[in-house]
């Protein structure tokens, strides 16, 4: 509704300083019976207040710019951390897969090494057997056979022995090659796992750095927001002080006119209305909120949010309450009427400056 960000339109608050000269003259004209000392003191206070209001407007504008920058930096840090967190999760998942692959490959390597051990043992035993029994001589096989069938049988046995020895040697070679391949696979898987470990570690370090930067940005954001709230509180307090001073003079006037029946509440309301009139009002909501929102400029427009008018009402809210056209182009009476309805429905919470 009311502009959440007091941006360029707060420069209009500086213009309120020009009203303080007229305010002094109005006080002197409206309180002819007041004591000269009171009028002089109020004139000095309002003269100083004009400079103070201008300085506060500059501070509010500067703090708002810092606030916007800090918020943007915090948003960028948050998005960067989300992206890095996604990469980290992906890297950790891939790291777990690679670890499983390394473990499985090592199991296969252990199996192949065991097969190689058994094959070498069998081959060694066969070599010992050949050494101890010797290799059958074909001539002795032929001449030692009693008949043709025995010759065929001995030849078959001899051929099967030779084939078994050849197959055993071949299996040993194949097993040796398989072991070598598994060793290569284990080394490659280990290298990939180490590379992913390094990437995951780098991602963790980067996330830690981003989080540290985000924490620093958040602290700066809090400091800027605190300074902005302090400036607004100071403006609110100054207007309250000026209102109290005018109330005293009005009470003195009421006493001189023998209007003792006027209550303290009525005097305060009259004084606040008086200050509001000197600052461009009277307004439908407290004067300090209007000064904070637009500086009392009924033609003010916030280019970023679209809020307009002295009360900085959003176009959607303006239309909801029956407003026609744009708030900043509407007559003062129409803006005052709709602002009064909004105040009756929501109170000060409808304006950011009213919540501080």
Alpha-carbon Rg for the chain, nearest whole angstrom, is: 47
Does residue 336 form part of some domain? no
For the chain, give the percent of residues with pLDDT over 90.
19
Q: At what angle do helices 148-256 and 287-294 cross, to 10 degrees?
A: 130
Does residue 247 form part of some domain? no
Quick check: 309 and 327 in contact, CB under 8 A? yes
Distance CA 196, CA 200 (A): 6
User: What average pLDDT does the segment 208-227 reach?
Assistant: 80
pLDDT, tens only, 247-263: 887 788 788 778 767 66
Alpha-carbon torsion, ordered 346, 347, 348, 349, to 10 deg: -30
pLDDT, tens only, 88-129: 788 788 878 878 887 998 888 889 888 888 878 887 877 777
User: What average pLDDT does the segment 337-344 reach?
Assistant: 97
* Residue in the block written with tokens 């502009």: 3
At residue 185, the pLDDT reads: 87
Backbone phi, psi, residue 5, to 5°: -125, 115
Lowest average pLDDT, out of 36-50, 171-185, 221-235, 295-309, goes to 36-50
pLDDT, tens only, 218-246: 788 788 778 778 877 887 787 788 778 77
Does residue 146 form part of some domain? yes
User: What average pLDDT does the segment 198-211 reach?
Assistant: 83
At residue 1, the pLDDT reads: 55
Q: Which of 194, 255, 185 is nearest to 31 (CA)?
A: 255
Does residue 142 form part of some domain? yes
Q: Which of 329, 330, 327, 302 is nearest to 315 (CA)?
A: 327
Distance CA 274, CA 259 (A): 18
At residue 137, the pLDDT reads: 64
Three-point CA angle 222, 224, 230, nearest 5°: 100
At residue 4, the pLDDT reads: 44
Q: Residue 2 above 50 pLDDT?
A: no
At residue 343, the pLDDT reads: 97
Distance CA 78, CA 254 (A): 60
- Sign of the Cα torsion 336, 24, 230, 303 reads positive
> Number of C-alpha atoms within 13 angstroms, CB side, residue 303?
1
CA–CA distance from 286 to each of 25, 275, 336, 340, 354 (Å)?
23, 10, 12, 11, 9
Q: Residue 175 above 80 pLDDT?
A: yes
| Confidence tier at 312 by pLDDT (50, 70, 90) | very high
Quick check: 294 and 12 in contact, CB under 8 A? yes
Distance CA 236, CA 292 (A): 9
Domain that holds residue 157: 85-208
Q: Which of 61, 57, 59 is nearest to 14 (CA)?
A: 57
Largest CA distance in the chain: 160
Question: Under the phi-then-psi rule, with left for phi > 0, alpha for psi from -120 to 50, and beta for the rest, what region is 82?
Answer: alpha
Does residue 38 form part of some domain? no
For the question of whether the overall pTM of this predicted structure is more than 0.75, the answer is: no
pLDDT, tens only, 73-83: 878 878 888 88
Does residue 203 form part of some domain? yes
Distance CA 212, CA 201 (A): 17
**What is the DSSP track for 127-167?**
HHHHHHH-PPPHHHHHHT-SSHHHHHHHHHHHHHHHHHHHH
Mean model confidence pLDDT for the chain: 78
| Confidence tier at 180 by pLDDT (50, 70, 90) | confident
Domain count, the chain: 1
Q: Residue 267 above 80 pLDDT?
A: no
Does residue 200 form part of some domain? yes
Q: Which residues does 114 contact at the CB level (< 8 Å), separation at least 6?
A: none
Quick check: 334 and 323 in contact, CB under 8 A? yes
């Amino acid at each position: 509704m009311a502009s959440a960000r007091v941006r360029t339109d707060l420069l209009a608050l500086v213009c309120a300083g020009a009203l303080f000269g007229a305010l002094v003259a109005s006080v002197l004209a409206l309180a002819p019976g007041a004591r000269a000392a009171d009028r002089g003191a109020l004139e000095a206070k309002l003269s100083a207040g004009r400079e103070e209001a201008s300085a506060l407007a500059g501070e509010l504008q500067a703090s708002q710019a810092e606030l916007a920058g800090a918020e943007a930096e915090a948003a960028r840090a948050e998005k960067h951390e989300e992206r890095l967190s996604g990469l980290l999760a992906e890297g950790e998942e891939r790291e777990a897969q690679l670890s499983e692959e390394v473990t499985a490959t090592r199991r296969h390597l252990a199996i192949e090494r065991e097969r190689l051990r058994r094959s070498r043992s069998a081959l060694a035993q066969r070599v010992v057997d050949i050494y101890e029994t010797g290799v059958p001589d074909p001539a002795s096989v032929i001449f030692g056979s009693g008949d043709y069938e025995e010759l065929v049988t001995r030849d078959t046995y001899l051929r099967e022995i030779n084939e078994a020895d050849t197959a055993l040697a071949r299996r040993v070679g194949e097993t040796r090659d398989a072991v070598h391949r598994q060793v290569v696979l284990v080394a490659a898987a280990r290298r990939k796992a180490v590379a992913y470990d390094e990437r995951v570690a780098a991602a963790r370090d980067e996330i830690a750095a981003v989080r540290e930067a985000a924490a620093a940005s958040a602290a700066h954001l809090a400091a800027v927001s605190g300074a902005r709230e302090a400036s607004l509180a100071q403006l609110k307090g100054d207007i309250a002080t000026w209102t109290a001073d005018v109330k005293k003079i009005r009470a003195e006037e009421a006493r001189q006119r023998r209007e003792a029946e006027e209550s303290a509440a009525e005097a305060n309301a009259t004084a606040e209305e008086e200050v509001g009139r000197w600052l461009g009002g009277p307004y439908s909501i407290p004067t300090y909120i209007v000064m904070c929102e637009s500086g009392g400029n009924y033609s003010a427009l916030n280019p970023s949010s679209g809020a307009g008018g002295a009360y900085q009402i959003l176009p959607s809210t303006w239309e909801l309450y029956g407003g026609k056209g744009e708030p900043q182009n509407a007559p003062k009476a129409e803006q005052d009427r709709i602002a009064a309805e909004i105040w009756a429905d929501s109170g000060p919470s409808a304006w950011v400056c009213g919540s501080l």
